[in-house]
Structure 1
Amino acid sequence: MGSLTDDPAFRAVTFVVIDFETTTPTGYPAQPIEVAARALRHEDGGWTQKGTSASLIRPPALAPVTPADTAQTGLTAEQLRQAPTPAEALGALNRRFTAGTPYLLVAQHAATEANVIYNQREHCPALARVNFLDTIPLAKHLVPGLANYKLDTLLSHFSIPQPTDRHRAHADVDVTAQLFQRLVTLAHESGGLNDLAALVKTAGRTAKSNLPVQGGLFDL
């Protein structure tokens, strides 16, 4: 029986670790104020970084940066006033995805990133079609019995140093990428996940743009 990193399908995938920071106005979905991404491939026996991207994002008037947002991320309204719009920032990221290349997005609690991307899908249609791997169910499968599976808990378990600017998108992408690589190594060494299909079955999440649209019950 083979192992995960020996699987040709696994080695063919470009894994894109992604993270958003957001502000959440009352009555509206979360609005992105920062995005970062790091593309990784496993080849020649190890990980290779294929590219990085990071951008501040100017939120709409309906979603101003609050003191609570600044306390968590360090980002201020002044910093974001001249930032790229969502169309500019996410459009630039979208253009990094090459047609015909197999991708999987990687995120801690992927539903959060999936919702942001889906709500911004008009600006990033290619990105919005990429499915996810969620590090939480992957960690639960490979490291059962932890008190919880929050990012800080997993960083501590794997002795990954806390970044000084935790809750900035670029810093969270960095540590999430390290966590994902540790989990893949553990899966490879334990033999618990033998191929990409098993990895996706355990930790995969379908992008909302790839889900079938259910019509109204009484549509005519």
Structure 2
Amino acid sequence: MGGLTKDPAFRATTFVITDFETTTPTGYPAQPIEVAALALRFEDCGWQETGRSSSLIRPPAFAPVTPADTAQTGLTAEQLQQAPTPAEALGALDRRLTDGTPYLLVAQHPATEAGVIHHQAEHCPMLARTDFLDTIPLAKHLVPDLPNYKLDTLLAHFGIPHPPDRHRAYADVDVTAKVFLQLISAADNHPQLGDLATLVKTAGRAAKANRPVQAGLFDI
């Protein structure tokens, strides 16, 4: 293996591939209806799974599951009636993280994931302070000249089978993890990606809670 996977900071980090399915109510931020996560860590014997989690989530009344949501995910309002609330589901996921362990969340264009976590920060404070790696800029850096960098395009490029339940959270986490591992394998032999700090500089996205707040122009 190359320099990246020999970097002590990279080896100390647990990478948590994360995906949400959501509703998108008018006038409100996206509301989660399903979450899945897969935790991976690189050790001497290679990649090791250190945990996995998935949960349906009952959306609030102002964000009902629509026919379009059902068409995309297969999830119906009836399936979610007895599911945990967003606070319960995100709180349970947050409690799976260990204080003091370095984490990075991994997602394909993590704007939705970052927004959901930020709006539930009261219930998932560790997740809310955890930065992201975005597979899209990493793929652009390592696999130039693809027609686009959608997840399905990356699956085809790497020969990863398209899951039958695509757009369910755990299926998307599973294939995103496979793409991530392919990208890390390519990065491991890339002369410009020799350590975790460079990887984060290339594809990192700061959690909203970690972004600096600009002081007002007239603050004293």
- In which range does the TM-score fall when normalised by the shorter chain? over 0.9
Q: For residue 96 of structure 1, what is the aligned residue in structure 2? A: 96
Displacement of 1:215 after TM fit?
A: 4.1
Q: For residue 151 of structure 1, what is the aligned residue in structure 2? A: 151
TM-score under structure 1 length normalisation? 0.97
Q: For 2:217 and 2:61, how far apart are their aligned partners in 1? A: 36
Displacement of 1:19 after TM fit?
A: 0.3
Moved more, 177-186 or 189-198: 189-198
Q: Indicate if the aligned counterparts of 1:37 and 1:173 stay in contact, CA closer than 8 A.
A: yes
Q: For 1:213 and 1:31, how far apart are their aligned partners in 2? A: 25
Could you list the runs of 4 or more consecutive aligned residues of structure 1 that deviate by over 4 angstroms after TM superposition? none
Displacement of 1:3 after TM fit?
A: 1.1
Q: For residue 42 of structure 2, what is the aligned residue in structure 1? A: 42
1:100-158 Cα distance to aligned partner (Å, 9 max, x none) = 10000000001221111111111111110000000000000000110000000000000
Q: Indicate if the aligned counterparts of 1:4 and 1:191 stay in contact, CA closer than 8 A.
A: no
Q: Indicate if the aligned counterparts of 2:16 and 2:103 stay in contact, CA closer than 8 A.
A: yes
Q: For 1:61 and 1:219, how far apart are their aligned partners in 2? A: 39
Answer yes or no: is 1:29 the counterpart of 2:14. Answer: no
Answer yes or no: is 1:131 the counterpart of 2:119. Answer: no
1:152-207 Cα distance to aligned partner (Å, 9 max, x none) = 00000000100000000000000000000000001113334101011001000100
Tell me the percent identity: 76
Q: For 2:62 and 2:102, how far apart are their aligned partners in 1? A: 36
Answer yes or no: is 1:12 the counterpart of 2:12. Answer: yes
Q: For 1:194 and 1:215, how far apart are their aligned partners in 2? A: 36
CA RMSD of the aligned region, Å? 1.1
1:29-82 Cα distance to aligned partner (Å, 9 max, x none) = 000000000000000141000000000000000000000000000000000111
Unaligned runs of 5+ in 1: none
Unaligned runs of 5+ in 2: none
TM-score under structure 2 length normalisation? 0.97
Secondary structure class of the residue paired with 1:191: coil
